[in-house]
């Protein structure tokens, strides 16, 4: 069961703020202003603006923690508050933490390298080896909340958040934990990452029109938009949730993962890996394509991904894909990399709870006119019971989650 969730995104510092922005079709993409982008070919991104670490952690933590870990801490605290989860001495050994991230604390890594170059080794903080590690977000959350179950990082590029949630689901089903705080986080709107992904021609170059840059499933799409953020959900068994008196928000019923074994940045041309992940998730859920009522698509806005994903959905869901809403919230948030799958699961749960479906903004000319990509404006659909959320990443990593209304 999902009993709580939290989010920090380019469109809001909480689930409520993020959800309201999504339904309004409000973009969080703009010209990047925290780094010098003058010489970059890509100068736009989805930044978390106005975030105040002091609301969520003491100064000694915010000084050492990379922004990706700060966002994860904030999301975890919101999730726990909603779930009414207090990690006491009795529960602590049965509470786990898993945070997925594609890039990890890259800002801290780059800063440490610059300090070493400019000031020498004596200027390097003794916390550097800890705060520049991929598991730093999970470690900070565990220490902040006092959890004593397993804590770890998960890294599978853009599928990291979804894979982490799948791993948390398995941990509960195998009896390794009663409660898992799980999600994804990334803060990779950096000079190096914008330059590298830009040189790979993966990013949109609509520098003069940032809010129109991310165009999932649109004929005129030209790449994804690098963004940052985090989301964490509280997963627990139905028995533990009932014993705690927690209110379930949704039931996570299926998870599937696969690898393309094809190319570092391009999806398999026939969508082989993506199809395997979606089919595995549906099989795990005891469901079929005809049971899916909504799809939160990976929908990055790249030429290859969107065409491949649309074809996979048509193959797996059959005619059902023409009768249900399929939207990409990345059109508003940009691509939060390791956080994307977790944020999009939260959005999928909100769809189940409200019947409101967030739009795919900028989808002016759909690549498949028979699919309802929910262009421009949110739609209300009654009777949405089962949602599919897709996450496909560089390196051929694929993950899919199936969630059901309660």
Where in the sequence numbering do the catalytic residues fall? 158, 298, 335
DSSP β-ladder status, 379-380 and 356-357: antiparallel
Neighbours of 315 (CB within 10 A): 16
Q: Are 381 and 355 in contact (CB under 8 A)?
A: yes
Contact 211, 50 (CB under 8 A): no
The encoded tokens of residue 368 equal 């498949």
Closest CA to 116 of 128, 134, 105: 128
Query: At 147, phi and psi to the nearest 5?
Result: -75, 145
Q: Any idea how long the chain is?
A: 406
Q: Give the DSSP H or E segment for 235.
A: strand 228-236
Please state whether beta strands 44-46 and 397-404 pair in parallel, antiparallel, or not at all (unpaired): unpaired
The residue with tokens 């026939």 is 270
CA atoms 373, 379, 385, 388: torsion sign: positive
Residues 6 or more apart whose CB falls under 8 angstroms from that of 150 comprise 96, 97, 98, 171, 176, 177
CB atoms within 10 A of CB 253: 17
The DSSP bridge partners found for residue 154 are 100
Helix axes 67-83, 136-145, angle to 10 degrees: 40
What is the 8-class DSSP label of residue 268? P
Tokens of 61: 């933590």
Judge whether 80 and 146 are in contact, CB under 8 Å.
no
Contact 80, 53 (CB under 8 A): no
Structure-block tokens of residue 45: 């991104």
Strands 44-46 and 29-31: antiparallel
Q: Mark out the alpha helices in 9-105 (DSSP H runs).
A: 15-24, 59-64, 67-83
Tokens of 164: 């982490």
């Amino acid at each position: 069961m999902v009993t709580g969730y939290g989010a920090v995104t380019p469109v809001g510092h909480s689930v409520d703020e993020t959800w309201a922005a999504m339904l309004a079709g409000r973009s969080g993409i703009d010209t990047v202003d925290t780094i010098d982008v003058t010489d970059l070919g890509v100068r736009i991104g989805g930044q978390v603006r106005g975030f105040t670490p002091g609301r969520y952690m003491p100064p000694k933590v915010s000084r050492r923690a990379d922004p990706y870990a700060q966002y994860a801490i904030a999301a975890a605290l919101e999730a726990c508050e909603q779930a009414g989860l207090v990690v006491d001495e009795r529960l602590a050994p049965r509470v786990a933490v898993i945070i997925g991230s594609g890039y990890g604390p890259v800002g801290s890594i780059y800063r440490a390298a610059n300090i070493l170059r400019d000031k020498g080794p004596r200027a390097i903080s003794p916390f550097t080896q800890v705060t520049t590690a991929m598991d730093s977000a999970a470690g900070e959350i565990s220490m902040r909340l006092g959890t004593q179950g397993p804590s770890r990082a998960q890294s599978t590029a853009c599928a990291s958040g979804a894979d982490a949630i799948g791993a948390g689901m398995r941990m509960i089903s195998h009896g390794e934990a009663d409660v898992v705080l799980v999600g994804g986080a990334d803060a990779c709107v950096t000079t190096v990452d914008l330059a590298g992904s830009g040189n790979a021609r993966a990013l949109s170059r609509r520098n003069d029109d940032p809010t129109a840059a991310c165009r999932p499933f649109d004929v005129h799409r030209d790449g994804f938009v690098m963004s940052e953020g985090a989301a964490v959900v509280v997963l627990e068994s139905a028995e533990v949730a009932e014993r705690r008196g927690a209110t379930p928000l949704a039931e996570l019923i299926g998870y599937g993962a696969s690898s393309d074994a094809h190319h570092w940045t391009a999806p398999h041309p026939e969508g082989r890996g993506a199809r395997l992940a979606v089919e595995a998730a549906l099989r795990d859920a005891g469901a079929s394509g005809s049971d899916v009522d909504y799809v939160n698509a990976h929908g990055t806005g790249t030429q290859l991904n969107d065409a491949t994903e649309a074809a996979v959905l048509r193959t797996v869901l059959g005619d059902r894909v023409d009768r249900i809403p399929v939207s990409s919230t990345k059109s508003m948030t940009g691509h939060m990399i390791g956080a994307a799958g977790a944020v999009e699961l939260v959005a999928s749960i909100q769809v189940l709870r409200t019947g409101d479906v967030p739009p795919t903004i900028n989808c002016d000319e759909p690549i498949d006119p028979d699919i309802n990509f929910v262009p421009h404006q949110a739609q209300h659909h009654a009777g949405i019971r089962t949602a599919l959320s897709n996450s496909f990443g560089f390196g051929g990593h694929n993950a899919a989650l199936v969630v059901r209304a309660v």
